[in-house]
Structure 1
Amino acid sequence: MSPTRRTTRRQLARRRLTGGVAAALLLATATACSSDAVDQWSRGGMPEGVTEQSTVIQTLWNGAWIAALATGVVVWALILWASAFHRKKKNSVDQLPPQVRYNLPIEILYTVVPVIMVAVFFFFTARDETAIMKVDGDAPVKVAVEGYQWSWRFTTDFQGQKAVTAGVPVDLSKQSLQTPQGPQLVLPVNTKIQFDLHSPDVIHSFWVPAFLFKQDVFPGNVHNKFEITTLNRTGVFFGRCAELCGVDHSRMLFSVKLVPQAEFAQYIKTQAGSAQ
């Protein structure tokens, strides 16, 4: 065997070994992250919701993606089919392909199918929006949310006792995932909560990503409200203003802390006593 062939075989063996090691590392990494990746894919990139209403939003989001992908597959298939079977042939005389103009059945199909698709999308969107925005007015916990330049004031009312939390623009250099800055809104789990939104200056937007929902805060509008029902999931969740409202818009940060109901009742009692 010539030295050249031996060298080539050794290089191939090394490349196969390196490729095998890389594949093993990739497989191990994929296995370690598989559960998180599956969860992310099942939610379509959305954060995990902590309210009953977030499950409605998540279902609508997933359905919209499925419908969009199905529509895309049909369109791509038609484009490829037309490109493959209706392209110009070699040595063919220049002429138009068969026309469908004045073909009444095909023109009706072109019109009816998109109308049906839009009607279906509209129905599910309107149905879920109605469910999400429904306010019964019987929530045991009511939170008055006031967004101002550039922070938040939360007034929580529970059984006639009130707790007020207000903040100032956050120092972004101190903000981290472990130590959220800004005012913290404490809420109980497994409870219906009503939010009443108001602004004294400009339009803000109350957004908690874990709610999968946000709503604008309008000045002069005292009827802007919504309800949520929290799930049995404690933790601290970030919130922010999602409407460009001024120079310190990015510093309008806050957090929501979900706690057991007994802990929430003690919190309200302590805060109301301190206020008095």
Structure 2
Amino acid sequence: MASSWVRRGVVLATGAVLLVLTGCSSQDVAALKRLGLPQAASAQAPEIAHLWIGTWIAAGTIGVFVWGLIGWVVIRYRSHTNEMPRQNRYNLPMEIFYTIAPFVVIGVLFYYTILAQNAVTAESKNPDVTVDVVGQKWSWTFNYKSAQDPAVGADVYEVGTIQATPDLYLPVNKSVRFNLSSPDVNHSFWVPAFYEKRDIIPGRNNNIEITPNRIGTYRGKCAELCGTYHQSMLFNVHVVTEDEYTAYLKTLAAKGQVGEAKGASNADPQGSAKIYQGEEVGDR
């Protein structure tokens, strides 16, 4: 009797899943396979994706096992009387199992987390592109270290404000080192499609290295609740060909945005402040 109930439950659950999947498009099915992650746009992203999906598979397996035990006990030991079952003071094998099992699960997850962490934090000695990123109240400044690039010949920058969302251009399939700094409060550099983020802490230089591998436009944002206008700390990431990347840097140079901008020391809430370490933007 109990086994027939289990079989019926499995059949109904399978039918419900198949019914839902038949109404999904190929894009929806792909999104379900990623378990909520956006479409990846960096070479490092698969390491995070595998860890994310593997963790959910492990958690789901344990959950199904526990729910199955609960269901089996409910059905197997159900009673139509009010008699109390025999009570045991302890069950040594069971106590050993539920003491050791969590440590095994944690150990396995920790091991794969370290592997993924080592893979995504690995840095090359000479990245193809270096961008100094400044997170300031309440936008972003991008300094392209392109002085050694003969096609550009100078370091150039892009400054954002609350009203003007800045653009970050990156060449596809090139390693990019982001040096992160802040002149005011804690921020966090996050591009969801890269599956990584890094905190930006005043007085501490942080960095992250990414290799964008999918041409397109992606959204970036601050992942740290940094203050009143936190919601305005957005930026657009354009992953383009190398020629388009170089052409964009040339347009910045043509606008006179040459040198380095360090971030506003006392940003105007309306985004009109353009004072950087006591100097006008164009002076650095």
Please give the TM-score of this superposition, normalised by the length of structure 2. 0.76
What does residue 21 of structure 1 align with?
Answer: none
What is the alpha-carbon distance in structure 1 between the residues aligned to residue 63 and residue 162 of structure 2?
Answer: 44
For the pair 1:227 / 2:209, whether they are aligned, the reply is yes
For the pair 1:210 / 2:203, whether they are aligned, the reply is no
How many residue pairs align between the two structures?
233
How many angstroms does 1:59 deviate by?
A: 1.1
Structure 1 vs Structure 2 CA RMSD: 2.1
2:143 partner amino acid = T
What is the alpha-carbon distance in structure 2 between the residues aligned to residue 137 and residue 107 of structure 1?
Answer: 51
1:155 to 134, 143, 147: 143
1:239 partner amino acid = G
What does residue 116 of structure 1 align with?
Answer: 104
What does residue 107 of structure 1 align with?
Answer: 95
What is the alpha-carbon distance in structure 2 between the residues aligned to residue 188 and residue 97 of structure 1?
Answer: 70
What does residue 257 of structure 1 align with?
Answer: 238
Give % identity. 41
How many angstroms does 1:230 deviate by?
A: 1.2
Structure 2 unaligned residues grouped into runs of 5+:
1-18, 149-153, 259-284
Is 1:140–1:158's contact at 8 Å kept on the other side of the alignment?
A: no
2:161 partner amino acid = V
Is 1:86–1:97's contact at 8 Å kept on the other side of the alignment?
A: no
Give the 5 Å matches for 1:124-143: 124-143=112-131
Q: Per the alignment, in what secondary structure is the counterpart of residue 227 of structure 2?
A: coil
Tell me which protein shows more helix as a share of its residues.
1
What is the alpha-carbon distance in structure 2 between the residues aligned to residue 230 and residue 159 of structure 1?
Answer: 22
What is the alpha-carbon distance in structure 2 between the residues aligned to residue 30 and residue 182 of structure 1?
Answer: 40
Give the 5 Å matches for 1:81-92: 81-90=72-81, 92=83
How many angstroms does 1:125 deviate by?
A: 1.1
What does residue 179 of structure 2 align with?
Answer: 196
1:82-134 deviation line (CA, Å, top 9, x unaligned): 22223444163x3x434261x43332222222211111011111211121122
Is 2:158–2:257's contact at 8 Å kept on the other side of the alignment?
A: no
Is 2:158–2:252's contact at 8 Å kept on the other side of the alignment?
A: no
Is 2:186–2:201's contact at 8 Å kept on the other side of the alignment?
A: yes
The higher radius of gyration belongs to 1
Q: Per the alignment, in what secondary structure is the counterpart of residue 158 of structure 1?
A: coil
Please give the TM-score of this superposition, normalised by the length of structure 1. 0.78
Is 1:235–1:257's contact at 8 Å kept on the other side of the alignment?
A: yes
Q: Per the alignment, in what secondary structure is the counterpart of residue 65 of structure 1?
A: helix
Is 1:134–1:226's contact at 8 Å kept on the other side of the alignment?
A: no
1:35-86 deviation line (CA, Å, top 9, x unaligned): 1111111111111010011111111111111111111101101111222223
For the pair 1:74 / 2:65, whether they are aligned, the reply is yes
